[in-house]
Amino acid sequence: MDASGKKIAVVTGAGSGIGRSVALALAGAGWSVAAAGRRTEPLQETAEAAEAAGPGADVLCVRADVSDPDDVAALFAAVRERYGRLDLLFNNAGTFGPGAVPLEDLPYEAWRSVVDVNLTGAFLCAQAAFRQMKEQDPQGGRIINNGSISAHVPRPHSIAYTATKHAVTGLTKSLSLDGRPYRIACGQIDIGNAATEMTERMQQGILQPNGQLAVEPVMDAADVARTVVHMAQLPLEANVQFATVMATAMPYIGRG
């Protein structure tokens, strides 16, 4: 907690979608939130929405590209300078890449871009948060990684996204193990078809494993945010290691 008694969270990718929903939910639950993202204007919109929803909301906007080590270092330095400690990282920033491109046609640059954001970015932020949580007094904190249904099963033509989300699961497990001596808990939320800009195509028809196009149901991103807040508010002696939150009728069970 900071001097005001609020717990401190960093949310990456907080300018839109799930990141914005989680930032708003945490602010509404009384957390101070450092909202990070690549573009300043959407972050300011997140902060304004938090302030409109509840007077006294504390949202610090920090422009940061999670794939850039210098940006990540500056992000966590800004949080340390403003609040003095860190209680939660929601490692959310991610990209799907260039649509449904067949594996044999995927450019190297597109592969590298997805890996840089989804995996390297998640590692850099987790490493910085881990250092802060290990060094601070009282010691400890929590990291929640945004996985995906694709951390379990792929969609057609999604090799870069799927590979990185499988890797995030390994990142989560290693963080959980390495964090034990320092009261650093790490869990993962695997999300299926939350209604965001990234999932707009679900409602227009998306390629299925049988080669057909189908409209898929979606859920409100606020339902994801409530789950993250629940995970975040547990005492450090308890941890949701893995949670799956998905649109009830989406074609996940039995996919493929």
- Residue written as tokens 């789950």? 227
- Whether the link from the prior residue into 181 is cis, omega within 30° of 0, is no
Residue 161 annotated to the active site:
yes
Q: Is 39 in a helix, a strand, or coil?
A: coil
In whole angstroms, give the CA distance from residue 85 to residue 132: 7
The residues near 190 (Cβ < 8 Å, ≥ 6 apart) are: 147, 148, 149, 151, 152, 242, 243, 244, 245, 246
Based on DSSP, count helices (H) and strands (E) in the chain, helices before strands.
7, 9
Is residue 142 within 8 Å of 190, Cβ to Cβ? Answer: no
Catalytic entry in 83, 108, 161, 252: 161
Q: Which residues are the active-site residues? A: 161
